[in-house]
Amino acid sequence: NNTYTLLDSGYFKKLENVGGQVMVRPCPQACWAPSLAKQDWNKAKDTYIRSNKGGGKWKFNSLPEQWDIVYHGQKMILRPTNFGHLGVFAEAASNWQWLKDMSKPEIKALNMFAYTGGSSLAMSKGGAQVTHLDAAKGIVDWARLNAEANDISNIRWIVDDVNRFLDREIRRGNKYDALVMDPPSYGRGSKGEIWKIEDDIMPFLERCKAVMSDKPAFILFTCHTPHFTPKVLDNLIYTVWGEDLTTESGEMTIPQESSKRTIPSGFYTRVTFP
Ligand SMILES: C[S@@+](CC[C@H](N)C(=O)[O-])C[C@H]1O[C@@H](n2cnc3c(N)ncnc32)[C@H](O)[C@@H]1O
């Protein structure tokens, strides 16, 4: 019971067993009716309720301050955050195996908007030399703990605004063979720089191209912004890198134990070079 299982979803909520902690959290996509009975949903001890003023709060709160799960072969430390997140986005795991398979010791990889490090761990396990970048120091500290929990000690940790870091790497002539990016719709850099995906994505991708080595290995570009569909991600890649590459894109999903349904949770494109 020390893993993540999506038990059911419906009526804009999801019922999850997260390492033995059964909880209900908001799920705006789940406009369908649940498959499980009300008694099953009533087993949840913890609920995160979103406020219509924005934000939200945990109710009942029997959750420990910290616990861990093993999810798709990676130990991940979890904590209930004020936003209702736990430190792992379950849908991200569908890309971890691909990242691990694509990684090799000669590959220098840069993971941007890297959050608690699931993708960094996967690439490191695959043997790549990983640089992990996020603007939030607390999040990078959390990612470091995840690395320690997985006996990984060779990741380079960077707390910085993504554009500032890329500009510095361009000036220094530092290059990367692989890029991973999960840009949010809206975010803040380490000194309060505003990130707004519609305005910032093109100049950001141009910077990414400028730090890419002349033997590019792969790019993983994921996104949770509603209009940034698989085709949009592909078009952005073609615009910046040209069309002499291969993309495999689609929707990230979380499979559900109780039925054939899956929760759609953002988009990805996996880019490989000839
Ligand atoms: C992983 S992304 C998106 C998270 C998730 N997929 C979602 O939809 O909520 C968010 C991460 O990007 C980081 N971030 C936001 N703006 C940033 C910036 N300008 N430079 C570097 N990291 C940034 C945040 O600290 C956070 O860890």
In short, whether 85's Cβ falls inside 6 Å of ligand 1 is: no
Asked if 51 and 163 sit in the same domain, the reply is no
Residue-level length of the chain: 274
Taking the centre of ligand 1 as the mean of its atom positions, its distance from the CA of residue 245, in whole angstroms, is 27
Burial degree of 120 (CB within 10 A; 0-12, 13-18, 19+) = buried
Rounded Cα distance, 14 and 10, in Å:
6
Asked if 67 and 162 sit in the same domain, the reply is no
Domain boundary among 73, 102, 133: 73
135: domain CATH number? Answer: 3.40.50.150
Q: The domain containing residue 52 runs over which residues?
A: 4-73
Q: Is 173 left (phi over 0), alpha (psi -120 to 50) or beta?
A: left
- 3-state SS, residue 129: strand
In short, whether 115's Cβ falls inside 6 Å of ligand 1 is: yes
Task: Render the burial of 9-38: b for 16+ CB within 10 Å, e for the rest.
Answer: bbeebbbbbbbebbbbbebeebeeebbbee
Indicate whether 82 belongs to any domain: no
Indicate whether 78 belongs to any domain: no
Asked if 257 and 129 sit in the same domain, the reply is yes
- Provide the number of structural domains found in the chain: 2
User: Encoding tokens for residue 264?
Assistant: 């759609």
Taking the centre of ligand 1 as the mean of its atom positions, its distance from the CA of residue 148, in whole angstroms, is 22
In short, whether 136's Cβ falls inside 6 Å of ligand 1 is: yes
Asked if 189 and 165 sit in the same domain, the reply is yes
Instruction: Encode the chain (274 residues) as per-residue pLDDT tens digits.
Output: 899 999 999 999 999 999 999 999 999 999 999 999 999 999 999 999 998 888 899 987 789 999 999 999 999 999 999 999 999 999 999 999 999 999 999 999 999 999 999 999 999 999 999 999 999 999 999 999 999 999 999 999 999 999 999 999 999 999 999 999 999 999 999 999 999 999 999 999 999 999 999 999 999 999 999 999 999 999 999 999 999 999 999 999 999 998 999 999 999 999 999 9
